[in-house]
Amino acid sequence: MNFRGISYYLGLSCWPVTILSFINILYSSYFDHYLNLNSYLLTLFVSLFFALSFYFISRNAEKNIKFYEQLFLILIIYFFISFLISIPYYFSYYQISLIDSLFEAISGFTSTGFTIFTNVKFLDPTLLIWRSTSHWIGGLFFLTFLILVFSNFKNDYKLTNLVYNPDKSINLFKDTKRIIIKVFFLYSFLTVIIFILFNLSGIRLFNSLNLSMTVSSAGAFLPTNALSDIIKQTSQEIILSLGLIFSALNIYFFYSLSSNFKNIKKHYEDIVVLGGIMLFSLILFFSIGNISFLNIFFNVITSVSNSGISSYEPPENFYLFFVFLTIIGGSLISNSNGIKFIRIYILFKSTILELFKLVTPNIIIDQKIFNTQYRINNENLNLSFLIFICFFISIFILSSVLAAGGLNFENSFKLSILTITNTVNSTLYGLDEINFVNLLTSSKLSLILFMVLGKIELLSLLLIVKKAISRN
């Protein structure tokens, strides 16, 4: 294991926290919000210390790390950066315990949205911004991780590139800077656009800032207790829906829109996801009947994007349908989670093909992915199936732990799905109101672990363990 090479990237990952700590210090000083100023100063020094320390450790190290080392790096980053993000919570005026601070930080960094605060409206404004920026940083890191691991440094990302050669050494050092810069500017540009649109629609500046960072990352942290406190006009709901669509689609889809419109035809996955969102919305609209199409469309997109924020509660018999949408998720290279649409597509189409073969063994069947020249191969199918199995194993384990901690079966089951898909427990899914502060420590630790595993997927952890065992 190239630990010194991993240290280099750990050092780089500290700088966003350092910069945002500095921004919060400036904000606190300018607006005379001194309540939690010392906690941001401490975060600044701690993150800066680790950034410089990791830099000196890795000065002469090999910066190229292999696939398994990448996975290990991503796992470490999620816990380490969450630890840095937790510092302002722990040392804040509100006297939050260490476990609760880490819970809030990981919930923010993974864009889940679970919170230990019962009355967000009265929190210090600087802490509200800190919560929103934790979402935004997490979204930026997640997109970068996805592109580095899955795309093999090809900007024309191929839909079938769902597996990676685990023995191949990648030129991470050479390509990281270019990829991060491109993703950063795309991500930042779209966030700014959402912010401007929110502000122009009548939402006050502070709420627009927080909400734009939350929406662009498919998160759920709000600067108020309820979404209805902010979104009060049809135009605002439309902007919110469009922002969540951005978080559910491949980020390069929007680059294609801005650079060369003709390249959109290459984004078959995103086009099908958009079509699926419209189809589900229409089905629900005609099935429910007493809710406007815009409200239903918003509920569908917030579920597919795995944000989960909503102010509209559907009829009781539709709760599981929206839970099902969170499991599907959006495009592969997006801030949405879940199993991902293309993997569901591969599994579904392969199953249909096998059924046809049973009926007519000699039939020649089209195995193309969507309408492309790429075909479903065994690697694609096996990986999709493994991820599907690992997903439901995770649900079983977490549900059991939560049930043992005192939650009833239905709440345990739904909360497990929402945790692993990094989706907030809103009124969409029919959960009883959950006070995360009052949960047992074992339940909190389990939720912390599975929020991270929901992002990196259990299969990634199993690959790391497999590699560690094989080396020993």
349, amino acid identity: K
For the stretch 347-392, pLDDT in tens is 888 888 878 777 777 766 667 777 666 667 777 777 778 888 888 9
Give the model's pLDDT for residue 164.
Answer: 33
- As a whole number of angstroms, the distance between CA 434 and CA 412 comes to 11
* Mean pLDDT to the nearest integer, 301-328: 90
In a domain, residue 179? The reply is yes
Do the Cβ atoms of 120 and 128 come closer than 8 Å?
Answer: yes
In a domain, residue 181? The reply is yes
In a domain, residue 282? The reply is no
Of 59-63, 127-131, 396-400, the range with the lowest mean pLDDT is 59-63
Radius of gyration of the chain (CA): 22
| Residue 331 pLDDT greater than 50, yes or no | yes
Give the model's pLDDT for residue 33.
Answer: 82
Per-residue confidence at 314, pLDDT binned at 50, 70, 90?
A: confident
Q: What is the mean pLDDT of the chain?
A: 84
Its domain, for residue 196, covers 3-248
Give the model's pLDDT for residue 344.
Answer: 87
For the stretch 108-122, pLDDT in tens is 999 999 999 988 888
Give the model's pLDDT for residue 440.
Answer: 92
209, amino acid identity: L
In a domain, residue 209? The reply is yes
Give the model's pLDDT for residue 202.
Answer: 92
Better pLDDT: 2 or 435? 435
Give the model's pLDDT for residue 163.
Answer: 35
Q: CB-based contacts of 161: which residues, under 8 Å, 6+ apart?
A: 150, 151, 152, 154
For the stretch 166-212, pLDDT in tens is 344 445 555 566 767 778 888 898 899 999 999 999 999 999 999 99
Question: Which two three-digit tokens encode residue 387?
Answer: 């991820």
For the stretch 216-232, pLDDT in tens is 999 999 999 889 889 98
Separation in Å, CA 316 to CA 153, 300, 321: 45, 15, 10
In a domain, residue 89? The reply is yes
Better pLDDT: 71 or 42? 42
| Residue 160 pLDDT greater than 50, yes or no | no
Of 64-68, 237-241, 291-295, 446-450, the range with the lowest mean pLDDT is 64-68
Residue reference for tokens 């406007």: 292
| Residue 25 pLDDT greater than 90, yes or no | yes
| Residue 151 pLDDT greater than 60, yes or no | no
In a domain, residue 435? The reply is no
104, amino acid identity: E
Residue reference for tokens 């709000």: 222
Of 18-22, 138-142, 338-342, the range with the lowest mean pLDDT is 338-342
How far the first Cα of the chain sits from its last, in Å, is: 12
Give the model's pLDDT for residue 31.
Answer: 83
In a domain, residue 330? The reply is no
| Of the ranges 169-183, 237-251, 255-269, the best mean pLDDT one | 237-251
Positive or negative torsion for Cα 38, 40, 41, 45: positive
- As a whole number of angstroms, the distance between CA 133 and CA 136 comes to 5
| Residue 128 pLDDT greater than 80, yes or no | yes
In a domain, residue 312? The reply is no
Give the model's pLDDT for residue 175.
Answer: 59
Question: Which two three-digit tokens encode residue 349?
Answer: 């189409």
Per-residue confidence at 459, pLDDT binned at 50, 70, 90?
A: low
Counting the structural domains of the chain, the total is 1
| Residue 267 pLDDT greater than 80, yes or no | no
